[in-house]
Amino acid sequence: MGKVFIPALWDRIRLIAVRLESIRAATPLTEDPGIITACRLHVLALVAQLRTVLSAIDVFDREIAALARAQPDFALFDRLPGAGPQMAPRLLAAFGEQRDRFHGADELQKYAGIAPVTERSGKKSWVHWRWQCPKFLRQTFVEWAAQPINKSFWAGAYYRQQRAKGSTHQAAVRALAFKWIRILYRCWQTRTPYDETTYLNAPVKPSKFRAF
């Protein structure tokens, strides 16, 4: 199964290449040692601070990893395609342990800000982004939904389908996150790890790509 190359990723790679070339071709604004020395010392101070922050982040990462693995539901999220050591704990925290908190996947989709809002006035209606929601929670689902595109057959196919309809990369990923939440909610409720083969072989497919 070939990998899906995301156009947005290619755009970022080209942008970085252009910026690096611009830096190489740049000329200094000044050669005044008084300005250069002060700026050099400022940068060194920032680097020292950054090293301290990175060291602290490493401590947090190790602690989060240890605590996440101690949770009974960790295996449900650790085995997800593209989850990895960063996203698995975030997804675990997103769902939590209280299984009666949400009465359906749709409630979680709305709470997380993944489900769009439809407004109506008279004969007019319009759909827009959900503004009131936990932003980091929404970011967690959207960031992870982009990871399985080249690791899950149906996710990659669904992403390409949305792009073919004219959706932007971000809109396609949000639509994918919407479908993934329905799947993960079912796995979470039944305490059943996600299995791609089982999902693809499921007999009931109400749409081209089935969602629970």
Domain that holds residue 190: 73-200
How confident is the model at residue 70, as a pLDDT? 95
Q: What are the 10-residue block averages of pLDDT along the chain, 212 residues in total?
A: 57 90 90 93 97 96 95 93 92 94 93 84 75 89 93 93 92 94 95 88 52 34
In a domain, 95, yes or no: yes
**pTM for the full model?**
0.73
Position 110 scores a pLDDT of 92
Identify whether 30 is part of a domain.
no
What pLDDT does 207 receive? Answer: 45
* pLDDT in the model for residue 120: 76
CA pair distance 73, 81, nearest whole angstrom: 16
Residue 25 lies in a domain: no
Q: Is residue 49 part of a domain?
A: no
pLDDT at residue 204 in the model: 53
Residues with Cβ within 8 Å of 119's Cβ and at least 6 positions away in sequence, in order, are 125, 126, 127, 128
Q: How many domains does the chain have?
A: 1
Residue 206 lies in a domain: no
64 domain-assigned = no
Does 62 reside within a domain? no
Give the separation between CA 28 and CA 41, rounded to whole angstroms.
17
CA-CA distances (angstroms) from residue 21 to 16, 26, 29, 51, 56? 9, 9, 17, 27, 33
